[in-house]
Amino acid sequence: MTANDVTRQTEGDEPRPAGEITWQDGNVPFSPHFGDIYFNPKDGLAETRYVFLEGNNLPSAWQDRESFAIGETGFGTGLNFLAAWQCWDSDPKRSRRLHFVSVEKYPLSRDDMIRAHQSWPELSQYSKQLAEIWPHETMLPGVHRFSLADGDVSLTLLIGDAIECWSGYDGNIDCWFLDGFAPARNPDMWHPDLFAALAGASNPRGASLATFTAARIARDGLESAGFAISKRKGFGYKRDMITATLPVSIGDNGSTPDLFEIADDPWFNLPRPKKTKSVAVIGGGLAGSACADALNARGVAVTLFEKADELASAASGNPIGMLEPYLTVDDAIMGRFYEAGYRFSHRKIKKLADQGLVEADFCGVIDLATSDRKRERLDGLIARLGDKPDLVEALDSDQASERFGLALPYGGVFYPSAGWVNPPSVVRAFSDGIDMRLSTTITAIGDDEQGKVLTDGNGASYGPFDAVIIAGALETQMLDQTSWLRDHLNPVRGQISFLPEEIVSNLGDGSAIKCVLSHKGYVTPARDGMHVFGATFGRDDAHTDLREDDHAFNINQLGKVLPDVAAKLSPEMLEGRASLRTTTADHLPLIGLAPDFDAYLASYGDIDKGKKGARYIDAPYHKDVYICTGFGARGLIGAPLAAEILASEICDMPLPLEKALMHAIHPARFIIRGLKRRQLTA
Ligand SMILES: Cc1cc2nc3c(=O)[nH]c(=O)nc-3n(C[C@H](O)[C@H](O)[C@H](O)COP(=O)(O)OP(=O)(O)OC[C@H]3O[C@@H](n4cnc5c(N)ncnc54)[C@H](O)[C@@H]3O)c2cc1C
């Protein structure tokens, strides 16, 4: 938002909710809480160009760069983003990619944003595209990643408080648009901690900054965070504004650290990659195909290796999977990861489904309160999220029955945006146009002087590649670099059963299942004449034979919520499918560079003694070898975000997750935990 120093009176005496807006001069949003308008109605666009673009030496600063990252405080209506995008787009010397990372505590609704954009017809080509990707539903706190201009422009929105968000995120930002409501109106934001956070999230090779104000609070704060500031004539009637630069940072060894500094401790930090042109992906399931798609979209040449003679032949081969949000009562790490994963997957899969490329039905999912504990959890969820029927709606048993189509014994919650997906169609859509090697089992990853060379079971070799991603589910542990994972990846066998549609429709009243029901198991609407229900959870069972006992288990489970349907079923009449979930002890996937296990033990063998992290060397990885596995029962909502994370790491762009979540999914976490708990020794 182009905040400004124009003094406006707060409407009325009562404090107003911070996210509320009213309208002035037609299409200019006004915040009664902050008593300020979002942009200067007369020449807001000219002000943005003068203050933020010229103030940061744009377009020159991004010219001839591979990628360029702009960071911002206060996304508001998106005016600065649109102006930067337009300027970048019309510059023939522009960087190959533009990344815009902004924070916003109170995101505008889609309708309000569209209305505000009417003030700038000359940006309409860009504002239309922004409106297209802007969520219809409430944006929850956390990181939201959007892709625009065929992937050449990324928009990463950190929803939440500016200081908290920027302290918890490393964007390697090249230039800053320090925007927001004026210091006098929003002093909380213009705090020394914010300036320190911006310095911390800057590119270690140096960054620039511009802001519309010359207020002392900004000058002092920026200076104490290490920025060198200059004053410049302000826009229009304003006397001054500030521009600033952050010098190149020099590490302990006298050189510039080339890291994504996602942690204070070195064992989780990531080296920034050199230019990557080719990547081998091992595994043709949801994880591997999502990685192939994310890299392909960034212009990387991908070769996908799959040992079976077709894609989606293992866990990703079930005919139906639930695309269900994983919302938690508290702010637990796992919930935050899968919450981010759901919104990312949902957007991506919905777009493919709208294009007819993926088979899916966004019919909604009912999550049933099958026990007092579950009831409590769902009540807590509604209490945490407040009244957001676009995200989740509480249902009593009558309402649940009405939505579902058959009588249900309990109430629960309804997720209106959720539904079911045919995973093989997702895998096919993701791997469309990708160079593929089917019936090829990769048995080794080696190096030659030009990169990574893969060997298959017949001794044939492939490559060189600049990088490799191992997305082989449980079999990720079969390769040398990742063999230590055998202690951390566990199979959980799952059998689903198929229920002929006529059994439901013959119940007597012409009933039909209208949405997905998630109870202790799940049952879906019919696809090709079959409902899917299940599933079993066979821990440490790595066999995929079809079993009558497992059908019996599924029937029994179904009988607890749909006894009339279950009564018509017997195990021997059912078809089904069994495959393996790949799980981890902390229920989070493993996403990132492959740690060199022995080198980790040798380098960090004494961290249990509580020595300060700064004394240790940077994390030792198997160079350019990445892991993407461990999605348990949530591959549909985990794998696309995982692929976005890896593609961001590999292509050196801002990450789509905050630092705490990057630690939580880091493959080395098990080694570090083992060392700290003295379960591992050097
Ligand atoms: C019964 C059941 C129900 C489920 N329901 C849901 C659901 O409703 N919603 C949801 O989100 N998730 C669900 N899941 C989980 C989801 O299916 C998985 O998380 C997801 O499919 C995992 O994808 P993946 O690519 O990691 O693994 P996989 O699909 O198993 O793919 C791994 C691939 O790697 C290949 N491979 C391995 N090693 C090599 C090698 N060395 N060389 C070449 N190829 C190799 C394998 O052949 C395999 O094709 C369910 C899982 C099960 C078992």
- Give 620 Cα–ligand 1 centroid separation in angstroms: 29
Regarding whether 283 and 216 lie in a shared domain, the answer is: no
Residues 267 and 237 in one domain: no
Report pLDDT for 2: 39
Q: Per-residue pLDDT averaged across 15-35, rounded? A: 77
Task: Output the furthest CA–CA distance in the chain (Å, rounded).
Answer: 83
Mean pLDDT, residues 13-19 taken together = 62
Q: What's the order of all strands across the beta sheet hosting 301-305?
A: 435-437, 301-305, 278-282, 467-470, 621-629, 590-595
Counting residues of the chain whose pLDDT is more than 90, the rounded percentage is: 72
Helices (H), ranges, 3-148: 44-48, 79-89, 110-117, 124-133
Confidence of residue 327 (pLDDT cuts 50, 70, 90): confident
Question: Per mean pLDDT, which range of 163-177, 209-223, 602-616 is the poorest?
Answer: 602-616
- Give residue 35's pLDDT: 79
pLDDT value at residue 15: 60
What is the average pLDDT score of the chain?
A: 91
Arithmetic mean of pLDDT, 251-271? 71
215 and 159 assigned to the same domain: yes
Is the beta carbon of 308 within 6 A of some atom in ligand 1?
A: yes
pLDDT tens column, 452-467:
999 999 999 998 999 9
Q: Is 636 in the pocket of ligand 1 (CB under 6 A)?
A: yes
One DSSP character per residue, 219-238 reads HHHHHHTT-EEEEEEPSTT-
The answer to the question of residue 71 being in a domain is yes
Q: What does the pLDDT read at residue 188?
A: 83
| Three-class SS state of 174 | coil
Task: Write the residue with the smallest CA distance to atom 5 of ligand 1.
Answer: 321
CATH number, domain with residue 127? 3.40.50.150
Give the domain-ending residue among 188, 214, 246.
246
Q: For ligand 1, say whether the CB of 494 is within 6 Å of any of its atoms.
A: yes
Pocket test for ligand 1, best of 456, 496, 543, 636 (most atoms within 8 A of CB): 636
If asked whether residues 275 and 179 sit together in one domain, one would say: no
Q: What is the pLDDT of residue 32?
A: 79
Does one domain contain both 186 and 129?
yes
- The reply to whether 319 falls in a domain is no
Residue 517 lies in a domain: no
pLDDT tens per residue across span 49-93: 999 999 999 999 999 898 999 999 989 999 999 999 999 999 999
Q: Poorest-confidence range of 149-153, 242-246, 466-470?
A: 149-153
Look at residue 6 and tell me whether its pLDDT is greater than 50.
Answer: no
Same domain, 242 and 265: no
CB contact burial 254-282 (16+ within 10 A = b; e otherwise): eeebbbbbbbebbbbbbbebeebebbbbb
**Whether residue 174 is found in the same domain as residue 289:** no
* SS3 (DSSP) at 268: helix
DSSP letters, 182-220, are: -TTT-TTTS-HHHHHHHHHTB-TT-EEEEES---HHHHH
Q: Is residue 304 part of a domain?
A: yes
Q: Which range marks the domain in which residue 484 is found?
A: 260-314+426-489+586-676
Q: Do residue 124 and residue 63 come from a single domain?
A: yes
**51 and 168 both lie in a single domain:** yes
Confidence of residue 420 (pLDDT cuts 50, 70, 90): very high
Quick: pLDDT tens for 201-236: 999 889 999 999 999 999 999 999 999 999 999 998
Determine, yes or no, domain membership for 501: no
Q: What CATH number is given to the structural domain containing 295? A: 3.50.50.60
**Ligand 1 centre and the CA of 584: distance in Å?**
14
- AA letter at 196: A
Residue 305, ligand 1, Cβ within 6 A: yes
Nearest to 640 by CA among 308, 203, 354, 323: 323
Domain presence at residue 609: yes
- Do 128 and 264 lie in a common domain? no
Check whether residue 82 and residue 189 sit in a common domain: yes
Among 376-380, 515-519, 644-648, the range scoring the smallest mean pLDDT is 376-380
Is 70 exceeded by the pLDDT of residue 676?
yes
- Strand 467-470, strand 522-523: pairing: unpaired
Q: Is the CB of 319 under 6 A from ligand 1?
A: no
Measured between alpha carbons, how far is 149 from 551 in angstroms, rounded to an integer? 48
pLDDT tens digits, 122-142: 999 999 999 999 988 888 899
Confirm whether 43 is domain-assigned: yes
> Model confidence over 285-324: pLDDT tens digits?
999 999 999 999 999 999 999 999 999 999 999 999 999 9
pLDDT at residue 16 greater than cutoff 70: no
Q: What is the pLDDT of residue 613?
A: 53
607 domain residue, yes or no:
yes
Ligand 1: centre distance to CA 323 (Å):
15
Instruction: Among 214, 246, 278, give the residue marking a domain's end.
Output: 246
Residues pairing with 101 in the sheet: 71, 156
Q: What is the ipTM of this complex?
A: 0.99
β-bridge mates for residue 241, sequence order: 232
Reading the block at residue 155, the tokens are 């928009």
If asked whether residues 272 and 192 sit together in one domain, one would say: no
User: How many domains are contained in the chain?
Assistant: 2
Distance 590 CA to ligand 1 centre (A): 14
How does residue 544 score in pLDDT terms, banded at 50, 70 and 90? very high
pLDDT of res. 85 = 98
